Structure formats: C-alpha cells, structure tokens
Chain A
Amino acid sequence: MNKKVFLGALTVAGLAAGAAAAATIDDVKARGSLKCGSNEGLAGFAAPDANGVWQGFDVSLCRAIAAAVLGDAQAVEFVPLTSQTRFTALAAGEVDVLVRNSTWTFSRDTDLKLDFVGVNYYDGQGFMVRNDIGVSSAKELDGTTVCIQTGTTTELNLADFFRTNNISYEPVPVATNAEGQQQYLAGACDVYTTDVSGLAATRATFENASEHVILPEIVSKEPLGPAVRHGDNDWGDIVRWTLNALVAAEEYGVTSANVMELAAGPTANPEINRLLGTEGELGAMIGLDKDWAVRAIAAVGNYGEVFERNIGEATPVGLARGLNAQWTEGGLLYAPPFR
C-alpha cells in the first residue's frame, strides 16, 4: 500500500512539474498581464515616474510586447529584480521576460538555460570618476577603490581588465545601482564602473553631473537584450519579433504617428505591408493576430522614438545613438526581413 501511495505522489509531482512548464504565452493570456523583470531603478531605462508609472527604454519593450500579445500596453506587471536575483527569477517562472540591462553571454545563453532573443542596446563597460582626481585614462587607476555591482558581467570584466593591465584595485561590492551611486558620491570608492549607458543614466541623476567624467576606455562588449526561458521557443519568437518589429519600423519610417494611417490599407512598400499585417499572415505564424506589430508600434513608437524619448541626446541621460543606429546609418541595428 505504501508503494502505491509513493507512486501516486510521484505521479502528482510529475503532473505538477509538467503544468509548470506549460507555454508562457498561454500563462500570459490567462493572466491578462505580462510579468516583466525590470531594473529596480535606472533613470532612462526603467524607473517609476512621479505618478508611479514605469517609464524607460527597457520598460517600453515590455509595453510593446504586452500591446502585441494582449492588446494593452498598460497590462504589464513590472517586477524589480537585482542583478543577483534576475536570472533565478526568470528561470523559476516569476517573470515571463527579463528586460533588465542584461548582457548576452555564452554561458548565460547555454548553461543558465536562458535564451537571449536579441539585442536592444549595444553597450560596453566604462569607468566614471570625479574630475578632480586627475585621471584621464582607465590605465591610470592603479590602487583605486572601485564600486561594482555584484553578480554582473562587469564584475568579471573588471577583474580581467586590471589583471591584464597589471594594475591593482580594491573592489567594493554593492547590490544595487542606487547603493553604488550612494557609495560613490560619499567617496567610499574612487571609481564607479558599469555599462556606459548605466553610468550616463546614473550621472544624469547627480546634482553636479559635470563634476564627473566617464573615462574614454570601453573595456568590454555588453550586448544588452531581452531574455526568456530556454525551451519555450514560441514565446521566444514573439519577444524576438516584437523587438525586430520596432527596429524594422524605424528603418521603414513607420512611427507611432503614422502607423494607423499606413496600416489602413496596403502601401507601396511590401515590407511595411507584411510588418503591419495588410499583406500576408505573419501574425498567425507566431500565434497572434495580424495587427500585433501595429499595436506595438502605436503603443511605444519605433526603436528610434523609444531611444530619443528615454535616453536620447535631448534627455538628461544624453546618450548618442552610436552603435545603436540603424545599419543604414552606420550602426549595428539590423532587423531580419519580415517575410
């Protein structure tokens, strides 16, 4: 009898496990909202505004996915995650998609059983110091104290950079960007290091931003992108092509202002027609209706609009497009064809 109960328990456990691994798209639709793992607060990328509404570059991608899948850009539940908890939270199913300045690396993509489905910001690691310490190159940082967020690729790059240049440093580990900012401003560390976009975003919130300088060296490649759980390829496709739709929209000149007009009927450009669903059945191929991309673009705008609104040169963060320009403009953004 014992054995039977034992086997019964096994079966129940097996069924429970099976249910947990069900398709993310079904979970999202059943729940009616998207759970998006986001930064705990990084100006320009993901932070709640004065009204408590999340705003930012990464946040916009989550809203675009929600608009494409659920038809409502506001149906997103943002789950703030630290750099240490983010991948565990995604793997455990606490969030559906992770858009949190996360670097696409080999081991994260394979060993951590995640899938990075694209790159929404090409970044690199840099160093920020005060003007008055008189340093103009990262190679002059011998003997400095460096604030570093734990659980990041920057932590490893930092160790590599100082070791290969044969200079020494003292790491001060911090858990969040806010903590790092406070330590740096209190002078507990001479240098703050993270992705250059993060440094710019952090500096934008300083009272005297001009007293701090970001050193010219970029010591690593940091392709930041959205990640989903490995194995759920249908959901991965949706996230990947929502990002691609925003990038392609900029390339073809589709904006949040003219998307409705262009989607009203077939235009002269077949790529736009297929993207906006006036031609072909692309939406059905990823399990959505034909207007999915229209809703995403209408909700947040194309990639260029998202960039300029949140982190562009007109904003306090003030980042140039640089590598994140369209391939036609000398950047790296290159959406595969919609066909």
Chain B
Amino acid sequence: MAEATDPPRETFRLSQLLYDARYRSMTIQVVAAILIMLLLVELVDNTVTNLAALGKDIRFGFLWSTAGYDINQQLIPFSSQDTHARAAVVGILNTLLVAFLGCILATVIGVLAGVLRLSKNWIVARIMTFYVEAMRNTPLLIWILIVFAVMTEATPQPREFREGGGASMILWDSVAISNRGVYIPRPIWESGSGIVVAVFVLSIIGIFVLRSIARKRQQATGQQLPVLRLSLLIFFVPTLLAYFVMGRPVTLELPELGGFNFSGGLQIRNSFIALWLALSLYTSAFIAEIVRSGILAISKGQTEAAFALGIQPNRTMQLIILPQALRVIIPPLISQYLNLTKNSSLAIAVGYMDVRSTLGGITINQTGRELEGMLLLGIFYLITSLIISALMNLYNSSVKLKER
C-alpha cells in the first residue's frame, strides 16, 4: 500500500501579517484603508459638529425660494421672481455653452497650431512655438482679463455709433462691435420656418449619405465622385428652394441703436467672448502639444512610404498620419476638455453668469448656504466631467487600434 505523504501543512501565525511577503501588502492596504476612512469620518463629523455649533443645519429648501436677482445672459427665460434652482439651471446652461463652444474652438486652433509647429517653414514653426509657449506658461486668469480689457477698453461705446460718433457698424450695418458686446442679426422664425429647417437637416443627412456612397463606390470600382461639388449643391439648393417656396419665413432682425443701447439683434456679451476666447486660446496651446506629440509618435517611415507612393503631403497628413495619431491624441485630449470645462468657473472674474456665479456665488451669498451650494456645485462639475469622459472614451474606442 502506497503511502501518500502530504506536504507539511503550514500553520498561520500572526507575525506573518508583517513579515511574510504574501500577506504584508494586504496588511498595509487594510491599515491604509482604515486610516483613510477615519480621516473621512473625522472630516464629516467635524463639519457637522461645527455647523451645529453655529446653529446651522444642512438643508436644500433654499433652492425653491425666490432668487430675487437678475441674470443678464439667459438661455431659458428667467426673471428675478424665479427660484434659486432655476437660477442654477440658467447658470449651468451658460457653463455648458461656453464649455462646448470652447472645446470646439480650442480643438480647431490646437490642431492647426500643433500641425503648423511641425511645419518645414521656419517662420511658421517658430511663430507657433512662441504662441504655444506664451499661452501655456501664463495663468489662464490673466488671458481672460486681457481679452476682457481689450473688449471693453478698445471698442467704442454704443453712443459713439450715433450720428457724428466715431464708430460705425460693419458688414452692411448688420454687426456692431461695442464695449457692451457684439451685436449680430437675430433670425426671426415665422410659421413655415419649421419646414425650411427640416429640409436643411435632411440635406445635411443627405451629404453624409452621399459621402458614404462615394467611398463605397471608390472602394469597389476605384472611380471618384466629385463629392465637394455635389455636397455644396445638396447643402444650398433644397434649403433655398424651400425658403422661397414657403414665402421666406425666416427674416433677420438687425441690431438698432435704441435709447441707451442697441436693441434688437442678438447680443454676444463681452464677458462671454472674453471667457470663450481666453479658454479656447489657453487650452489650444496644450492641445497643440498633444497633437504634435501624436504626430511625432507615428514613425517617419509612414510618411516616406506615402511619399514614395506619390501621395501629396496634405493628403498624407489627412489620410495616413492623423488617423493613426488620433489614437495617441484622444486620451490626453479628454483631460484638456475636462480642464476647459472646469476652468470655465473663472467666469466670475469678468462677470459671466455661469453656474459658479449664480449658484456658487449670488445664491450662496444671499441665502448663506455655502456648504450646500458648494456641494451641489461639486456634484455638477463631477457629473459633467464624467459625462464628457464617457463620451470621449466612446469615441476613443472607435478610433483605437482594432485588434482581431
């Protein structure tokens, strides 16, 4: 009968928690976790106790009381008789507006600057280097204030647009650049304009369909369609036809000088322009560096191979380098978008009424609910950032290397 010998069973001793490499890391993690939890408990408890000592409690009822203040830029109607909650929503929309437009402009400028910095043209490359370093190495707040100062000090006052004043409107008297903001014509939507918009949206979809047909056709037969010319045709003709058939339902309201100010038209406030431009310019410098690093990450052989096949330099960039560089570019780009969104909270410096100025500023100040307001503000920025991250991650997974 064969005798099976078990290996000697190891007994667990307490000292192993410290001296045995298998358990040590776990011990350290558990201790660290407990310490962190204690710190959090201490923080929360300290806050609650101190608030209680001041006689304050944590309540969110203030959100439903009357705000009592006015907001200049409102994407949804708001009057001083509305609630603090609605004021917060107005602020949130203003934040999202400047963040959205800022991300777009920053990307456009950033990609241009990043590509041009690698240009073979010495002057262009140096100018872009200077631009990137100047923007990147100075605080954002300074740029916001500089753009704002230029917009308010260097532009004419509305009254100078009067007869005999030194200023005049541009673009056939339709746009006025004043120190209150830029006034542009506003479209007036009359009945029937819905159809025109629908036709416009359909023709945009049509352009995408055309592009996909053209690509398939090229892949199948090698023949190219004149995509640009056809696209322009689809873009303009149906919409213009619908516009005239429906009896020109969309008209433009031009800004006109009223008593103290321009009335009519759409006012783009200086505070918005300053914040938007400064955020875009500042972030574009970082994006330029990300784009440059992405392009440099693609081996030079790719370019040389493309040139050897006789592909023009701009087509090489467009079809070969950028699609591959995107894989490197997208992940750090996400953090730049997040930065831009969060940096938009510097809006108060120029009086732009974003969520930090409404909920986190005036509301907190008028109601004395600092903790609640700041909590809500933190949650808002957290959720917004997570959504941006999620969307960008989706895009990232669509451009990243497909491994099969």
Contact = CB atoms under 8 A, between A and B. Distances in A.
A and B are interacting partners: yes
Interface of A: 2, 5-6, 9-10, 12-14, 16-18, 20-21, 83-84, 87-88, 91, 107-108, 111-113, 133, 141-145, 150-151, 155-156, 158-160, 162-163, 169-175, 183, 186-188, 190, 229-231
A150 B42 CA distance: 34
Given A9-B41, A107-B368, A155-B366, 19 more contacts: A10-B45, A12-B42, A84-B361, A145-B261, A155-B69, A159-B68, A159-B69, A160-B80, A162-B70, A163-B80, A171-B72, A172-B72, A173-B72, A173-B351, A187-B179, A188-B152, A190-B260, A190-B261, A231-B55
Given A111-B368, A174-B351, A20 B70 contact: no
Interface string B72-84: 1000000111000
B46 interface: yes
6 contacts: A17-B49, A18-B53, A163-B79, A170-B72, A171-B72, A231-B55
B170 to A, nearest CB: 20
A231 B270 CA distance: 45
Contacts of A84: 361, 364-365
B53 A151 contact: no
A10 to B, nearest CB: 6
A17 B365 contact: no
Contact of B180 (A13, A175, A188): A188
B33 to A, nearest CB: 11
B375 interface: no
B46 A16 contact: yes
A186 B42 CA distance: 50
Contacts of A141: 260
Contacts of A143: 258-261, 263
Nearest to A105: B366
Given A21-B53, A143-B261, A151 B365 contact: yes
B38 A6 contact: yes
A319 B188 CA distance: 51
Nearest to B351: A173
A160 B260 contact: no
A146 to B, nearest CB: 9
Contacts, number: 130
B345 interface: no
A88 B365 CA distance: 8
Contacts of B54: 21, 91, 113, 229-231
Nearest to B258: A143
Contacts of B42: 9, 12-13
Contacts of B41: 6, 9-10
A314 B42 CA distance: 56
Contacts of A88: 370
A5 B37 CA distance: 11
A318 B353 CA distance: 35
Contacts of B179: 186-188
Cβ-closest 4 pairs across A and B? A151-B365, A159-B80, A112-B368, A17-B49
Contact of B50 (A5, A17, A159, A186): A17
Interface residues of B, number: 47
A301 to B, nearest CB: 34
B53 A13 contact: no
B66 to A, nearest CB: 10
A155 B53 contact: no
A276 to B, nearest CB: 37
Contact of B46 (A17, A158, A183, A229): A17
A155 B362 contact: yes
A159 B367 CA distance: 16
A140 B3 CA distance: 110
A144 B261 contact: yes
A161 B46 CA distance: 42
Contacts of A229: 54
B108 to A, nearest CB: 29
A9 B41 CA distance: 8
B387 interface: no
Interface string B60-95: 000000001111100000011100000000000000
Nearest to B35: A5
B126 interface: no
A40 to B, nearest CB: 15
A178 B42 CA distance: 41
Contacts of A187: 157, 179
B34 interface: yes
Given A5-B38, A143-B259, A111 B365 contact: no
A258 B260 CA distance: 55
A17 B56 CA distance: 14
Nearest to A157: B68
B357 interface: yes
B368 A113 contact: yes
B115 to A, nearest CB: 38
Contacts of A170: 72, 180, 261
B348 interface: yes
A84 B351 CA distance: 13
A158 B365 CA distance: 16
Interface string B4-48: 000000000000000000000000000000100010011001100
Nearest to A91: B54
Given A16-B46, A113-B56, A173-B357, A186 B152 contact: yes
